């Protein structure tokens, strides 16, 4: 069993585990999770989709009780799990640590019995997160199948022997005493056996392989396609490899390993290429100088020394490449703790400002899984979102910075200018992180770009944003009809042309919004996207199909989905804030 993928929604940039998840939009996460599961399970390994559900912060994760409307639950926080079960056919689900409406999610009657097993007909196994089980009766009756890592009681040693787990001897005693019907046990056993026959006992299960060239090639391709070019003033990037120059590479993240750390996302790789190594190989003609510039040890004296060293080499360099961001340390993109603030740690903001005063040719490469504030944005020429890219990180980043690969990644979440521009934080502590016992999702369905659009709050960088080294023109955008019925398919077409000088890929994005809705809605919601690669001068017609049924909202008065009739707007563009055309249609 692979303990992933994670599909919790990006609600706040402070969540320590956002880097493991698939962004702020339920349609995006639902689309990405299905082939992910198929790829895992086609190899005879069970995907374990996590953390079900509403595990959107690490702070107080073991006990915080989440209160959220049914509508937000079904429209925002559950769709990716539903797609994982009904389309992905996931073989296992992991319960979350937190509570929902007073019950821990690892044994939550509403989430596990009512929604997952009854409504969605999930036939797989529910496992607890490690130590996520808290009560024998709820564990027995509220949908949990496998209990993992229950913590100790006060009078027993840590990491109880299995017999003392809630679903072990206490469960057995209740069965033997006639307090629990054997049918409850049989259902759990049936699900576990089904999992065994789908994996280890499947005679057709293929053999695997480890660390071969195909793995490295895939790691490189995934990394290069995911890198996002956020800003590129005066076409500063790419930097020509044939030019003899001096490059100052500044930042601890140029050399720090990112496959280790971060909690249970830690990887044990055979090798990890650092950004500095990648640049040294890519820029053989250049003189490359490196200074850490800062240390994540938070040593003030050492940081002062490193700053002086960094400024010294920046002053001599033709180009400065600053590798900063977060780093999977505790409280910096890591399981078990949220970030303490929105700005860059370890005095990086001040260091970037100081470098920019003595060298204007600076590009900032952010290594992080979260949005960060950028008070220095106007003082640097280029900004690249570099994520945590795995074994081939250095090669992938060097390929993009040099132009060997044209960046084509798009942001899966919004970057607010300041933390209070984020919906969860706008409503204060009761919304995030809560009062120590309970938190209330006061923004309801207005998560991410839905909030920015609806409240007219400009983001720093918008959901779906990502630049290219070439230029695309999108035109002849239309729908096949102007009026549709429930059950119809809306065909949206456009023509995309590469009018620049480089081969590249663009992502056509389609959003839909309701005109004069009788209920509270976001201005628009993502309903379709397609990534298209074009050589210079090439033109392609793009077709995207949207199901009218997917325009439904969750009606709490009937506890079901409902389509509101009337006029809608189809928004077509290449980011949530970059719409090329709006088309009005009607749902009869």
Record the tokens describing residue 483, joined without a space. Answer: 């009026």
Q: Tell me how far apart the alpha carbons of residues 297 and 501 are, in angstroms, rounded to a whole number.
A: 44
Record the tokens describing residue 17, joined without a space. Answer: 């585990």
User: Cα 541 from chain centroid?
Assistant: 30
Quick count: other Cβ atoms within 10 Å of Cβ 303?
21
Q: What is residue 151's three-state secondary structure?
A: coil
Query: pLDDT tens per residue, the chain (588 residues)?
Result: 999 999 999 999 999 999 999 999 999 999 999 999 999 999 999 999 999 999 999 999 999 999 999 999 999 999 999 999 999 999 999 999 999 999 999 999 999 999 999 999 999 999 999 989 999 999 999 999 999 986 655 555 555 567 888 999 999 999 999 999 999 999 999 999 999 999 999 999 998 888 899 999 999 999 999 999 999 999 999 999 999 999 999 999 999 999 988 888 888 889 999 999 999 999 999 999 999 999 999 788 899 999 999 999 999 999 999 999 999 999 999 999 999 999 999 999 999 999 999 999 999 999 999 999 999 999 999 999 999 999 999 999 999 999 999 999 999 999 999 999 999 999 999 999 999 999 999 999 999 999 999 999 999 999 999 999 999 999 999 999 999 999 999 999 999 999 999 999 999 999 999 999 999 999 999 999 999 999 999 999 999 999 999 999 999 999 999 999 999 999 999 999 999 999 999 999
User: Taking the alpha carbons of 304, 309, 312, 314 in that order, is the dihedral positive or negative?
Assistant: negative
State the DSSP string of 18-62: GGGS--S-HHHHHHHHHHHHHHHHTTT--BEEEEETT---STTTT
Angle separating helix axes 26-41 and 79-86, nearest 10 degrees: 30
Q: Tell me how far apart the alpha carbons of residues 491 and 128 are, in angstroms, rounded to a whole number.
A: 42
pLDDT at 211: 86
- Which is catalytic among the residues 25, 70, 114, 129? 129
Neighbouring residues of 247: CB distance < 8 A, sequence distance ≥ 6: 239, 279, 283, 286, 287, 288, 289, 317, 318, 319, 320, 321
What residue spans in the chain does CATH classification 3.40.50.1700 cover?
A: 213-402
- Asked whether 320 and 359 are in contact (CB, 8 A), the reply is yes
Q: What's the topology of domain 18-198?
A: TIM Barrel (3.20.20)
Q: Tell me how far apart the alpha carbons of residues 314 and 249 are, in angstroms, rounded to a whole number.
A: 8
- Return the half-sphere exposure (C-beta side, CA atoms, 13 A cut-off) of residue 148: 13
Q: Tell me how far apart the alpha carbons of residues 325 and 253 are, in angstroms, rounded to a whole number.
A: 8
Nearest to 411, CA basis, from 465, 469, 333: 465
Q: Tell me how far apart the alpha carbons of residues 268 and 279 are, in angstroms, rounded to a whole number.
A: 23
Backbone angles phi, psi at 454, to 5 degrees: -70, -35
Angle separating helix axes 182-198 and 169-176, nearest 10 degrees: 130
What long-range pairs does 34-43 form, CB within 8 A, spacing at least 24? 34/83, 34/84, 34/87, 34/88, 36/5, 36/88, 37/5, 37/84, 37/88, 37/89, 37/90, 38/88, 38/89, 40/2, 41/89, 41/90, 41/91, 41/198, 43/205, 43/206, 43/208
Q: Tell me how far apart the alpha carbons of residues 314 and 346 are, in angstroms, rounded to a whole number.
A: 19
Q: What is the dihedral of CA 390, 391, 395, 397, to 10 degrees?
A: 10
Q: What is the dihedral of CA 171, 175, 176, 178, to 10 degrees?
A: 140
Whether residue 129 lies in the annotated active site: yes
- Asked whether 253 and 323 are in contact (CB, 8 A), the reply is yes
Pairing of strands 48-52, 287-291: unpaired
Nearest to 39, CA basis, from 51, 47, 31: 47
Q: Tell me how far apart the alpha carbons of residues 477 and 474 are, in angstroms, rounded to a whole number.
A: 8
Considering only the top CATH level, what class is 213-402?
alpha beta
Which of the listed CATH numbers 2.40.160.20, 2.60.40.10, 3.40.50.300, 3.30.70.141 matches domain 470-587? Answer: 2.60.40.10
What residue spans in the chain does CATH classification 2.60.40.10 cover?
A: 470-587
Backbone angles phi, psi at 532, to 5 degrees: -130, 130
Alpha helices in 133-274 (DSSP H): 136-141, 169-176, 182-198, 213-226
Q: What is residue 79's three-state secondary structure?
A: helix
Q: Tell me how far apart the alpha carbons of residues 41 and 35 are, in angstroms, rounded to a whole number.
A: 10
**E-state strands within 213-307:** 228-232, 246-250, 287-291
Nearest to 522, CA basis, from 456, 441, 588: 456
Backbone angles phi, psi at 526, to 5 degrees: -65, 130
Rg (CA), the chain: 25
Say what the pTM is. 0.96
What residue spans in the chain does CATH classification 3.20.20.300 cover?
A: 18-198
pLDDT at 230: 98
């Amino acid at each position: 069993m692979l303990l992933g993928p994670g599909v919790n929604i990006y609600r706040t940039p402070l969540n320590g585990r956002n880097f493991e998840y698939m962004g702020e939009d339920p349609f995006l996460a639902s689309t990405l999770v299905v082939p992910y599961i198929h790829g895992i399970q086609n190899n005879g390994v069970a995907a374990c989709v996590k953390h079900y559900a509403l595990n959107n912060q690490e702070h107080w994760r073991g006990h915080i009780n989440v209160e959220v409307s049914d509508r937000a639950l079904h429209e925002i926080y559950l769709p990716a799990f539903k797609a994982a079960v009904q389309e992905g056919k996931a073989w296992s689900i992991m319960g979350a640590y937190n509570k929902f409406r007073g019950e821990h999610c690892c044994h939550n009657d509403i989430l596990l019995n009512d929604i997952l097993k009854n409504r969605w007909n999930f036939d797989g196994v529910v496992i607890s997160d490690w130590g996520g089980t808290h009560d024998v009766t709820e564990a027995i009756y509220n949908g949990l199948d496998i209990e993992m890592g229950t913590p100790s009681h006060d009078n027993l040693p840590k990491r109880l022997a299995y017999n003392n787990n809630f679903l072990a001897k206490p469960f057995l005693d209740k069965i033997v005493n006639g307090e629990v019907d054997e049918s409850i046990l049989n259902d759990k056993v049936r699900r576990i056996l089904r999992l065994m026959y789908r994996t280890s006992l499947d005679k057709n299960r293929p053999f695997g392989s480890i660390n071969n060239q195909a793995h490295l090639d895939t790691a490189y391709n995934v990394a290069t396609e995911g890198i996002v070019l956020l800003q590129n003033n005066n076409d500063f990037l790419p930097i020509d490899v044939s030019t003899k120059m001096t490059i100052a590479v500044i930042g601890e993240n140029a050399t720090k390993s990112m496959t280790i750390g971060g909690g249970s996302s830690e990887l044990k790789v055979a090798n990890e290429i650092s950004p500095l190594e990648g640049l040294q190989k890519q820029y053989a003609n250049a003189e490359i100088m490196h200074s850490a510039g800062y240390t994540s040890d938070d040593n003030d004296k050492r940081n002062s020394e490193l700053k002086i060293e960094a400024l010294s080499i920046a002053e001599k360099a033709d180009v400065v490449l600053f590798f900063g961001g977060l780093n999977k340390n505790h409280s910096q993109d890591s399981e078990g703790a949220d970030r303490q603030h929105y700005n860059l740690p370890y005095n990086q903001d001040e260091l970037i400002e100081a470098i920019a005063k003595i060298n204007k040719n600076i590009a900032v490469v952010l290594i992080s899984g979260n949005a960060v504030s950028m008070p220095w944005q106007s003082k640097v020429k280029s900004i690249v979102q570099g994520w945590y890219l795995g074994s081939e990180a250095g090669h992938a980043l060097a390929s993009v910075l040099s132009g060997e690969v044209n960046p084509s990644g798009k942001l899966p979440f919004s970057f607010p200018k300041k933390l209070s521009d984020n919906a969860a934080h706008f409503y204060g502590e009761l919304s995030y992180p809560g009062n120590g016992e309970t938190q209330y999702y006061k923004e309801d369905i207005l998560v991410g770009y839905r909030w920015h659009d609806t409240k007219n709050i400009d983001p720093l960088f918008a959901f779906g944003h990502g630049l290219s080294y070439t230029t695309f023109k999108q035109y002849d955008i239309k729908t096949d009809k102007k009026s549709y019925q429930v059950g119809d398919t809306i065909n949206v077409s456009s023509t995309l042309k590469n009018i620049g000088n480089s081969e590249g890929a663009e992502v056509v994005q389609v959003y839909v919004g309701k005109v004069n809705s009788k209920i509270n809605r976001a201005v628009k919601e993502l309903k379709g996207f397609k990534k298209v690669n074009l050589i210079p001068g090439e033109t392609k017609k793009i077709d995207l199909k949207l199901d009218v049924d997917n325009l439904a909202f969750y009606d709490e008065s009937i506890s079901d989905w409902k389509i509101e009739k009337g006029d809608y707007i189809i928004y077509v563009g290449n980011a949530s804030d970059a719409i090329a055309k709006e088309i009005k249609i009607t749902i009869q």
